[in-house]
Every structure is written in structure tokens, then in C-alpha cells.
């Protein structure tokens, strides 16, 4: 049973509240800040990259070269039909059984546009065809960039677009003199989130403070209680009630 601690994000102090709670491992969803607070599990660890300590690996340099043709454009948080079409292809291919699988165009627009703080939609288009290839909804914190939600062309597996988006946000943060890129949650032992642990300079919020990740095994104690269960994969595929933040 999933449980979350959440609070409304509104009013004149919304920006200050978002900054303060982001430092405590919270994440934003529209006008709500939330953090997992499950009774018997602490596996969801908020993750961020210390930009000053990041150096790309050989494989990450290859990802940058493969995507050198993409052009970046940052805009105000406004949803478009092209974004929604890409979002649906991404969900249908990568997360067809996830909690967001049934989102319609109106819910998508709310996810993009309902923000009480300074947010940007960062679009990446093919320099030759101008096709929309990847999108990141990104919040501007006083100490970094927070990647709220990202999606991309699911058929371009070889391009490792999820990794590329993080690499490019690190570059943006460096250009702006911001120390961190916030990535959302990392779960030890989760194959879908394993790529986040491959970034140098990664820190996770555990035990009430940010800790530098030296090796993944240091956080094995935080594994989901079902992760060592032989039927865990079957259980993980069971559809759970919709836990999206209320509008």
C-alpha cells in the first residue's frame, strides 16, 4: 500500500516552500508537493547530481555524440498537441501499465501548465526534420534545476534519450551557475531507474540528509520489501488505485 505525505503549493510563499521542501526530498506535482511515506518501506530515495563533481563517462560521451543533432528550446509551461502525441507514444510503449497510462489531453495540460512557481518546458527537436523528439518539464529552484517529468520518442532506444536529457540539464545548470540537478526518485534494485545511479556526483536523500553515493550497494538496506521476494515481479505488475495528486 502506497502512502504519501503532501502539502498544497500555493500563495505568495510557493517558491520559498518549493525550495525548502525540495531540500527535504519532496517533489512537485502541479500545485502539490509530496514525498513517499510508506509504513514498511523507504526504498524511494530523492536523487540529485552535484554539478561540480560530475564528469561524463565514456558511454555518456557517446550519448552526447549520438544526440548532437538535437536542438534545445526552453519555453513557458504551455501544452501543445505535438507534446501530447509524443507523451502518448512514450506512455503506450514504456509505461502502458503505469499509474499515468490513462491520462487524457486535459490531464496532460494540467500537468504541464498548473504550476505556481517558475517552470519551463524544455523541448528537443531534430535539427533536420524539426520533429519533436524529447520534452522535459523543469522547475527552476534557487540552487538548481528540478526535472519534474520527462518523456521522449520511445523508438529511439539507441539514443538513450533519458540519459541525454539529464546530461543536457547538467550543461544548462553549469551555464547558469546552479549547483544541482534534481532527478526525482531513485529506487535501489529497480531496473527502470538504474540509469540514474550511473551519473558521477549523484547524491540521495536518506536518513534525513543528502548523502553522496559512492556505490549502489551502500543503499541495499533501503530495498523495497518485495524486492527479494520471488513473486515480486508479479506483484509489481498488479494495477494499484490511482494515486495521482488531487487537482
* Strand 202-206 to 144-152 pairing: unpaired
pLDDT at 226: 58
Q: What is the DSSP letter of 78?
A: -
Asked if residue 30 is part of any domain, the answer here is yes
Question: How is residue 245 written as a grid cell?
Answer: 495528486
Within a domain: residue 207?
Answer: yes
In a domain, 243, yes or no: no
Residue 163 within a domain: yes
Q: What is the pLDDT of residue 221?
A: 63
What's the structural domain count of the chain? Answer: 1
For residue 75, the enclosing domain spans 4-236
- Residues of the chain short of pLDDT 50, as ranges, are 228-247
Q: Name the 3-class secondary structure at 29.
A: strand
CATH assignment at residue 67: 3.40.630.30
d(CA 158, CA 55): 21
Longest dimension (CA), the chain: 51
Say if 125 falls within a structural domain: yes
In a domain, residue 81? The reply is: yes
In angstroms, the Cα distances linking 181 to 145, 199, 208, 229 are 5, 11, 19, 33
Residue 242, domain member (yes or no): no
26: nearest Cα among 43, 11, 4: 4
CB-count exposure of residue 25 (10 Å: 0-12, 13-18, 19+): buried
For position 236, what pLDDT does the model report?
A: 40
pLDDT in tens, 184-211: 999 888 877 778 889 999 999 988 899 9
- pLDDT recorded at residue 234: 40
Residues 75, 123 contacting (CB under 8 angstroms): yes
What is the H or E stretch that residue 82 is in?
Answer: helix 81-94
Q: What's the confidence (pLDDT) of residue 97? A: 72
Could you give phi then psi for residue 206, rounded to 5 degrees?
-145, 140
- The confidence score (pLDDT) of residue 72 equals 97
Q: Is residue 25 one of the residues assigned to a domain?
A: yes
Amino acid at each position: 500500500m502506497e502512502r504519501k505525505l503532501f502539502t498544497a503549493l500555493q500563495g505568495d510563499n510557493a517558491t520559498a516552500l518549493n525550495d525548502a521542501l525540495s531540500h527535504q526530498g519532496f517533489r512537485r506535482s502541479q500545485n502539490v508537493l509530496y514525498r513517499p511515506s510508506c509504513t514498511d518501506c523507504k526504498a524511494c530515495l530523492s536523487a540529485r547530481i552535484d554539478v561540480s563533481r560530475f564528469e561524463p563517462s565514456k558511454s555518456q560521451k557517446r550519448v552526447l555524440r549520438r544526440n548532437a543533432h538535437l536542438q534545445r528550446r526552453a519555453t513557458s509551461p504551455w501544452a501543445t498537441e505535438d507534446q501530447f502525441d509524443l507523451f502518448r507514444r512514450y506512455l503506450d510503449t514504456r509505461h502502458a501499465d503505469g499509474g499515468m497510462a490513462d491520462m487524457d489531453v486535459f490531464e496532460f495540460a494540467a500537468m504541464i501548465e498548473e504550476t505556481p512557481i517558475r517552470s519551463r518546458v524544455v523541448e528537443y527537436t531534430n535539427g533536420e526534420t524539426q520533429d519533436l523528439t524529447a520534452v522535459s518539464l523543469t522547475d527552476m529552484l534557487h540552487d538548481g534545476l528540478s526535472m519534474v517529468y520527462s518523456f521522449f520518442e520511445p523508438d529511439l532506444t539507441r539514443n538513450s534519450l533519458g540519459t541525454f536529457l539529464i546530461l543536457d540539464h547538467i550543461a544548462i545548470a553549469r551555464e547558469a551557475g546552479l549547483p544541482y540537478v534534481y532527478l526525482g526518485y531513485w529506487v535501489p534494485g529497480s531496473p527502470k531507474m538504474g540509469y540514474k545511479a550511473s551519473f558521477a556526483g549523484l547524491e540521495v536523500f536518506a536518513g534525513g540528509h543528502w548523502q553522496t553515493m559512492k556505490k549502489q550497494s551502500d543503499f541495499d538496506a533501503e530495498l523495497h520489501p518485495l524486492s527479494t521476494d520471488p513473486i515480486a515481479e508479479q506483484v509489481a505488475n498488479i494495477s494499484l488505485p490511482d494515486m495521482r495528486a488531487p487537482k
